[in-house]
Structure 1
């Protein structure tokens, strides 16, 4: 297929066992700081069909050889209609290897057995954001985790000590992926898990600003369509409350005006009541918690564009998910992070690219509301836990 995405199959040991070059269609969606996905259709009569089973995975590259994403196969569905020739068709779906992070929670004492979890928080103190993220992954899922929790094939890329210094506490058994997303978004970093050799590697990276070279507009001839939408903020004032249990209660508010709604005040409670207010780093913890809440609750703009790969500007070579690009919206140039890219490939049309720029994690408005409700439910659960104690 001309300009086709290259698909390789791996087994449970991450060894390549074959290449699939006869698929009918393929859609792969790598996402910045979130779980990507892929869906592939292929004839059930293909000689490669036997490789496409749950437990195996796919490694997907651009035609130029750049890695798009990798991940396990989750479902293999079969269907046949009277118009289908032969044995019907298979629909193979899966997720990116970053989904591994969603399988784990953050234990307050990650090196201790479950019966010895005496604390209610895991403390991160005076560490660079990348260093803290690596420690969370290492101790809860990686080489430094308990034997029963360790993912044998998971490794960590070298620590680049990127991002600002952070001081915060992680509530007991918070989802590892969610905590990483909070830290990364506030620190301006990216992370992912991808296959490197015969291992799954957790990587942290500093997104690259390519807005000076990766520029898209109808006038430049490298856009087929574009649309822009906004989502109002869910938090413009963080009400951070620390202590109140074994130490005096401290309350502090942090405001961040929304540029589209400068007079709008939306308060959000940020629970740090498990923090001892006599701590020498109390101010740093309050500031960190407020920064994360205001960043997560800020108003968002989302731009969806359909770029055209040209010899001088192509996805995978000249810009990636997580990079900052520029696109012309009406008469104004919009600069923001590429949150996700949808690559669709068919035998007849080759590969088409559609990019989502801006937003929070590539979510639409409905998904954002659900995320907000999920946070409310988590806070309620914490309150019930404290009352029970």
Structure 2
């Protein structure tokens, strides 16, 4: 097995490790920041390890250095054989990261009450730290504090670090738990994941690390083989927030945020807070936060895709990982942003290659690379104007 190849371990339904797969043909592993990761592995169908690769079991994938890349359940095992295949054909094993467990639940307005007692229209978060609020949502809807009929017996929660800003928000009844957590985390600049810890699955919230001073990629440094960037225009530059109007007076407020690449563009978006009673003492905070989330989600974005090369002093999984901030040279300028997704392609015979997507869904108002591209285009425009004059 190549010394840089990913290490693949199989676990059973109780999360107990039952074997090592060291003869896979190929493996594509995609960990994602604040989202569900995935994996696809191909292996000879007549491998001695093929019997372990069944739905209900799962994989634990680590780097050659032993660092956890991701873990998760096997969702599909497909068999195929062509005339060119030797032996018994090949198996394609696909699965998702353990963070997917969060997608199996919704947010109940009264999570400790039976379904017949769900009389509230919203679940209210009042002046809680973002991490505390996220943990409470998981705990009460899927974790140890959930109703017995909803509780996932394998799910635990890491200790509360009270990270992130204080938030006030109302969660609509039965919104998807994963979607709500993603919104909260991205707005707060936090990361979250579910990974296997011992014999359980642990929900963790963390603060991404700024490694832009040490994790630097460029063609000049010899640790980059490919780089591309692109921009997506804004979908919201004006948030029209409407609260009340049902059991309380209607209040409307407009929030504007100019886009650096399209400063004259106005894209309005209705932000429905009509379920919020306008007599609420935290009404302004709730409306402000709803506008901030809409403007952040709808901001123009820049995405940078890089294909870095692992070198002795800079390796994925050891020196940077998904969620960290890294630096990359775009043309002649350095830019920094969050690693949103990494695709690791590995073969047992040839080792592992890495491709990272940076900044596509940055939690900042507008990704730094987007601002950089906006400035470049403005400079080019001014240059053309001077030449024309």
The two structures have a TM-score, normalised by structure 1, of 0.92
Structure 1 segment 225-374 matched on structure 2, within 5 A: 225-360=226-361
Paired residues of 1:42 and 1:89 also in contact (CA < 8 A)? yes
Distance 1:237 1:159 in 2: 35
Report deviation, 1:347.
3.3
| 1:112 alignment partner in structure 2 | 113
2:28 alignment counterpart: 27
User: Aligned partners of 2:195 and 2:296: how far apart in 1?
Assistant: 26
Superposed CA deviations along residues 3-24 of structure 1, whole A, max 9, x for unmatched, are 1100000011000011101101
Say whether the 8 Å CA contact 1:31–1:321 is kept in structure 2.
yes
Alignment partner, residue 375 of structure 1: none
Q: 2 CA distance for matches of 1:361 and 1:6?
A: 30
Secondary structure of 1:84 counterpart: coil
The aligned counterpart of 1:83 is: 84
Residue 220 in structure 1 maps to residue 201 in structure 2: no
| Stretch deviating more after TM superposition (34-43 or 287-296) | 287-296
Question: Does the CA-based 8 Å contact 1:76-1:92 persist in structure 2?
Answer: yes
2:199 maps to what in 1? 198
Partner of 2:187: 186
Shift in Å, 1:127: 0.2
Give the paired residue count.
Answer: 362
Counterpart in 2 of 1:150? 151
Instruction: Give the structure 2 partner of residue 70 of structure 1.
Output: 71
Shift of 1:89: 0.6
Q: CA RMSD in A?
A: 1.0
Cα shift readout 1:288-324 (whole Å, capped 9, x = no counterpart)? 1111111111111100000000011110000010000
Partner residue of 2:48?
47
Structure 1 residues 361 and 34, CA, compared in 2 at 3 Å: closer, same or farther? farther
* Matched ranges for 1:6-17 at <5 A: 6-17=7-18
**2:383 maps to what in 1?**
none
* Partner in structure 2 of residue 96 of structure 1: 97
- CA drift at 1:83: 1.2
Q: Give the distance between the partners of 1:243 and 1:202, measured in 2 at CA.
A: 35
1:348 deviates by 3.8
Moved over 4 A (4+): none
Alpha-carbon distance in structure 2 between the residues aligned to 1:267 and 1:24: 50
**8 Å contact kept, 1:12–1:57:** yes
Structure 1 residues 231-286: Cα deviation after superposition (integer angstroms, max 9, x where no partner): 11111111110000000001111111111111111111111101100011101111
Question: 2:379 — aligned with what?
Answer: none
Q: Secondary structure at the match of 1:269?
A: strand
Q: How far apart in 2 are the matches of 1:221 and 1:202? A: 37
What is the deviation of 1:349? 2.5
Hey, what does 1:387 align to over in structure 2?
none
Report the Cα offset of residue 361 of structure 1.
Answer: 7.5
Q: 1:195 and 1:157 mapped to 2: Cα distance?
A: 12
For residue 133 of structure 1, give the secondary structure of its aligned residue in structure 2: helix
Aligned to 1:377: none
- Under a length normalisation based on structure 2, what TM-score does the superposition of the two structures give? 0.92
Conserved 8 A contact 1:163-1:188: yes
CA-to-aligned-CA distance 1:352-387 (integer Å, 9 cap, x gap): 00000001189xxxxxxxxxxxxxxxxxxxxxxxxx
Correspondence for 2:372: none
Indicate conservation of the 8 Å contact 2:338/2:362, yes or no. Answer: no
Q: Structure 1 regions of 5+ residues with no counterpart?
A: 363-389
SS at match of 1:180: helix
Confirm or deny that 1:161 pairs with 2:162: yes
Query: Does the 8 Å contact 1:32/1:361 carry over to 2?
Result: no
Preserved CA contact (<8 Å) 1:34 1:361: no
